[in-house]
A and B are shown apart, each in its own frame.
Chain A
C-alpha cells in the first residue's frame, strides 16, 4: 500500500513540475506577477511529494517488501540495515528517484536563498529547473518505476550487488548527484539570464556560489569513488580511466573552468558568452554522465540497466536540453554586450588559458570515452582506448595548467607588465625548478621525469601561494599590521589558495604513488613471509569467518619493520550467500606517508593463496588534496558578500532599468 502511495506521490510531483516549469516562465515573459509567484510554492510542493515517494521506497526496503520488484532485485532480509537504506540508490530506478529528489532539493534551496534576487529572475530559474524535472520524472514513470510490483512476491530478495556493500557506496552516489544536479542551478541561471537578455556581472555573482557548491560536491563525490575503488576492487589503483569515472570527471573539469570564468565575468564583465556556453556544457556533460552510466551502453560495473528504451529516452532528452539551450543562446547572443578589453598579459588571458586547457583535457577524455561507442554503433567492430592514452593526454595538458595556476593569482587584471611579473615570480620559479632538477637527477629516468614534474609543480604552487600572501601583506607595518591585513582578506581569496594547495597535495600523491610504490603478486602459504617496500609481510593463517550475509576466508598478515610488528592486516575473500558472488576486501594499514595494502587472490590448494601486496607511498595525499580542494570551495562560498543584501538594489536596477 505504501509503495502505491509512493508511486502516486511521483505522479503528483510530475504534475507540480509541469506547473512549476510552465506557469512562472509564461508569467515572467508576459509580466503576470501572480503567475511568477507560483514558482516557490510549486517547487516546495514538488519537493514534499518527492520526499514522500523517497520515504515510501525507503520503507519498502527497510521492511523487506520483496513484492516490490526493485526491492526484490536489490535487497535481502539478511542485508545490514545501513546497506538496505543505501540499496535505494544501488541500481537504476532508485538512483533516478534520488536524482530528482536532489534536483527538487536544489530548487527549494534556490527558492529559499534568493530573497535578494529580482522575482522575475527567480521565477525563470525555478521554471528551468521545473522543466528539467519534468524530463526526469516522466522518465521514471514511463520507463523506470521503482514501485512496480511483482505478480508473485519472492520469499527472499536477490541481494544488493556485493561490490556496492561498502561504506563508500552509502555516500558516493548522493555526493556525486549533488554535484551533477547542482550544475543544473548554474545552467538554469544562465538560461534565465539569456531569456531576460541580461548577462552581466550581477548574474555572474548570483550563479557563482551555486556553481562552487556543486563543484565542491562533485570533487568530494569523485574522490570518494576513487577511494572506494581502491578499497573494494582489490587492484590497489586509485583511478582506472573507466568510462564511468570519465563520465564524472568531464563535468568536474568543465565546472572548474566555469568557476574561473564566472569569476572573470563577475569581476570584469567579460567572458559572458563563454561563461554561458560553459554553464550549458557543464550541465550537458552531467546529463551525458547520467546517460552513459544509466543506459547500460558501457561495459562497466555501474551499468545496471540494459533496457534500450531508457537509453533512447535519455538521448532524446539530452538532445532537447543541449539543442534547446544552444538555440536560445544563438537567438539571444546578439544582445550580449562585449566586455572590457584586456591585455595579452593579464589575469583575464591567463584564466582564458586555464579554461582552454581544461576544455582540452575534457575533449580528450570525451574522445576516449565515446569513440569506442561510435565505432561499435557504426558496426565497424569493437575496440577500447587504452589507459596510456588518457595518461599521456593528462601529462600533456595538466603541467601547463599547473604553471598557469601559479601565475594567475599574482597577475593583475586587464594588463600586467612582464618584467615586474618576473620580478615577483623569479624566486618561486627558481625554487620550483630546483625541486624539479633534484627529483629528475635523483631518478635519472623517463618515469623519474614525470615524478619530478609533479613534485616541481607542487612546489611551484606552494611557493606562488606564499608570493601571493606576501604581496598582500607588504603594505602592513610590523607583524600586527601584517596580521590585520591578512585578517581583512576575503574568505574567497583564502578559498582559492586552499583549493590550489589541494591541487599541489594531490600532485605529490599522484607523482609519489606512480613510481615510489612497490607491488608484488606472490604465492604465500601459512608461515611464509615476503619483503615489500622494506617491510616484512608474514602470512600467518587463513580462517573461516561468518558475516551477516556472507562467509569469508580471512587471512591474518603481520607486517614487521626491522623485526618489530607494526600492523596486523585482515584481508578477506567473501562469498555472499544470496548471490554466490565472490568479493575481495583488502586489508590496508593507513598512513600519512604510506599505505600498506594486502589483497587475497585465490586459494591455490595446499593452504597457500595468491596474494597481492603493495607499498603505496603518499597515496592518502591524493584524497587529502581533494578534500582540501572541497574545503577551498566551502571557504569561498562562506564569503560574506554572498550573505549580505546590499546588492539587491543594484540587481533590481540592472533588471528593470532602462536598456543600455
Chain B
C-alpha cells in the first residue's frame, strides 16, 4: 500500500508540473496586451510602456514562468494587474462563495437523485420509471443558464421570494447567505441530479441482476430487503465516483451560473480576468482548480486502492 501511495504521489507531482506548464503557456499565447487594455484608447504609447515595465511584462517568458511557480510554492500568487490587490486575497474572498455553492448544489443533487434513482430501479419499466427517465432526460438537455433565468423570472421577478441575484454576504447571517445561493444551487443541481439519478438507476439494476441477489431472494428475503441491504451498498460505488467528478465539475463549471446571478465567485473572477487580460489572476485560479481536480482524483485513487486490493498490485 505504501509503494502504491508513493507511486500515486509521484504521478500527482508530474501532473501538477505538466499542468502548470500548459496553463502558463496557453495563457501567454492569448493575444492582447494587459497594459494596453488598462490604459484605454486615448493613452499615449509611453504611458503603456511605463505600465508594462511596472507589471514586469517585459521579462522573457521562462523567467516569468519561474517567478510564477516559485511564488505558487510559497502560496504567493502575485498581485492582480487590474485590482492591484494580492491574488490570494481575491481567491480567499471568492472561494467562500464558490465552495458553499458547490457543496449546496452537490447536496441538493444527491438528495434528489438518490430517491429518484432508487424508485426508478425498484419499479423498473413501470409508468413511474418511464416518467422519471423522461424527466431526467429533459433535466440533462435543458441548459442550466436558461433554467436559471426561468427560476429568476418566476421566483425573483414575479413572486419576489428571492432576490434576482447577488450575494448577501456571510456577515448578514448564515440563512441570508444560503438564501442568496438557493436559486443558483437549484439551477446547478438539476442537470447533475438528472445524471446522478440515471447512474443510480442503472447501477442498481446491474447489481440487482447479479447472482448473489438471486441467492438472497432464494433464501427468503423480500424484494425491498434485497434492494436496501445488498443491492444498494454494492451499487453505490459507481455513484460515488460520479459524485467525486461532479464536485470538481461544479467548482469549476459555475462560471455561467455565477454570471447569470452576478455572484462574486471564482468562476466570475476567471471570466473577468480573461476579458480584462488580468492574466496573473486567470493563471492562478485555473491552476488552483486544476490542483483541486488532481487532488480529488488522487484521493479517489487511494480510496479505490483501499477498497479493492487488486488495483494496488496491478500498477
A and B associate in one complex:
no
Binding site for B on A (CB under 8 A): none
Binding site for A on B (CB under 8 A): none
